[in-house]
Amino acid sequence: MPKTRQLAAIMFTDIVGYTALMGSDEQHAFELLKQNRLLQKPIIEQYGGKWIKELGDGVLASFSAVSDAVTCACEIIKGCERIATLKLRIGIHLGEVIFENDDVFGDGVNIASRIQALAPVGGIWISQSVYQNITNKKNIKARFIRTENLKNVKDPVLIYEILTDNKNEYSGAAGEETSGKTSQKSLAILPFTDMSAARDQEYLGDGLAEELITLMAQIRELKVIGRTSSFSFKKKDVDLRTIGKILGADAILEGSVQKAGNRIRITAQLINASDGYHMWSRRYDREMDDIFSLQDDISSMIAEQLKLNLLVEPATTIEKRPTENLQAYDLYLKGHYNYKKFTLEGYQLAIEYFEKALVLDPLYADAWWSLGVAKF
């Protein structure tokens, strides 16, 4: 298929809490992915959309008409009511994109993805370009949310929310739930900052945060904010108290990672989101061979502090190691990091890293699953 440039409405959808679900109940996670696919595909086709591909637990689709994209999104959110555990967030942007070999690329895709990541549970957030095309549609209502500086996007983007009959009023949250606090305590884990001299360990900081999200999600009494929401604040100078309020988190874990040779230094600090004060902080100096035990140590210490400060009981079990080969694990983290860039080059690099990881450990289940998703 030749490369073509077109103006299109790009829609990104994402399953809320899927990463944590994969860590706790893999079979349920795969079943939810199947139900999500069965729900969305016919609705997208009904409104003249083109199903581009799945991106892990997300779906990328394009539409030639903006109103069709928005109406489709509303129907998808409404359809989620029939599937008890399926919660989505959706982002839509209108822009010029490149279609090639049944795939789509360009800033329009990136912007739609970033907007989706900011939306609350059950929310449909759109860019100004979409809003301007639906203002004369009586059956579609929207309202302004805020101006946002999106990652890798030069100019600020005005963001609006589509008002639907089946969702609550926007409360200002971009988390796994609305920002109103519940009796269940909640934790947000931010990506760890790369402090290495060469600044080449960002993938390790992201991977460490994701692994901790999965580990902490095992605590029944604790609500762990999902990756998409927590990572939306990556490299943004936002006060932790503000992040806590936006995400509806009682506590926030942040830290840094620094690697030199086979030595790794990790600092971690647990912050009370209501007042910004430290609840706990620690520095770890270890060999990379201890990375899994290091993750367990950090999660155990966090669980103990949550018990002391937030009255949350720690988990009784720790997730088993995904692989015994540390080099395979490092390659897996690099693959996952590149995949999350949502670019053609990123996908190609991800596939290479996952395949290299599987050469070292052919039984590495996470790498096999991620390779399948990256190739889809």
What average pLDDT does this structure show over 310-339?
A: 72
Tokens of 189: 């884990």
Share of residues in the chain with pLDDT > 90 (%): 22
- Dihedral in degrees, nearest 10, Cα atoms 202, 207, 209, 214: 170
In the 8-state DSSP scheme, what is residue 255?
Answer: E
pLDDT of 109 > 50? The answer is yes
C-alpha–C-alpha distance, residues 59 and 36, integer Å: 9
CB atoms under 10 Å from CB of 140, counted, come to: 19
Res 310: pLDDT: 60
- Which of the residue ranges 56-65, 71-80, 177-186 would you say has the lowest mean pLDDT? 177-186
C-alpha–C-alpha distance, residues 340 and 231, integer Å: 11
- With DSSP H G I counted as helix, E B as strand and the rest as coil, what are the percentages for the chain, rounded to 5? 40, 25, 30
What lies within 8 Å, CB to CB, of 194 at 6+ separation is 200, 201, 202, 204, 205, 256, 257, 258
pLDDT of 40 > 90? The answer is yes
pLDDT of 23 > 90? The answer is no
Res 175: pLDDT: 37
Mean pLDDT for all residues in the chain: 82
Res 181: pLDDT: 40
Tokens of 244: 């806590």
pLDDT of 321 > 70? The answer is no
pLDDT of 340 > 80? The answer is no
Give the DSSP letter string of 80-146: GGGSTT--EEEEEEEEEEEEETTEEESHHHHHHHHHHHHSPTT-EEEEHHHHHHHTT-TT-EEEEEE
Res 94: pLDDT: 92
Query: Which pLDDT band, with edges at 50, 70 and 90, does 11 fall under?
Result: very high
CA angle 311, 321, 23 (to 5 degrees): 55
Query: Which pLDDT band, with edges at 50, 70 and 90, does 179 fall under?
Result: very low
Res 38: pLDDT: 92
Tokens of 197: 């001299």
* Residue 131 one-letter amino acid: Y
Query: Which pLDDT band, with edges at 50, 70 and 90, does 71 fall under?
Result: very high
Contacts 24+ apart (CB under 8 A), 78-86: 78/164, 78/166, 79/39, 79/43, 80/39, 80/122, 81/166, 82/39, 83/32, 83/35, 83/36, 83/39, 85/28, 85/32, 86/15, 86/32, 86/35, 86/36, 86/39
pLDDT tens, residue by residue, 350-374: 899 999 999 999 988 888 888 887 7
Res 307: pLDDT: 65
In the 8-state DSSP scheme, what is residue 49?
Answer: -
pLDDT of 223 > 90? The answer is no
- H or E segment and range at residue 372: helix 365-375
pLDDT of 73 > 90? The answer is yes
pLDDT of 163 > 90? The answer is no
Query: Which pLDDT band, with edges at 50, 70 and 90, does 51 fall under?
Result: very high
- H or E segment and range at residue 38: helix 26-46
By DSSP bridging, strand 222-224 and strand 185-189 are: parallel
Beta-bridge partners for 260: 263
pLDDT of 172 > 50? The answer is no
- Which of the residue ranges 32-41, 55-64, 161-170, 192-201 would you say has the lowest mean pLDDT? 161-170
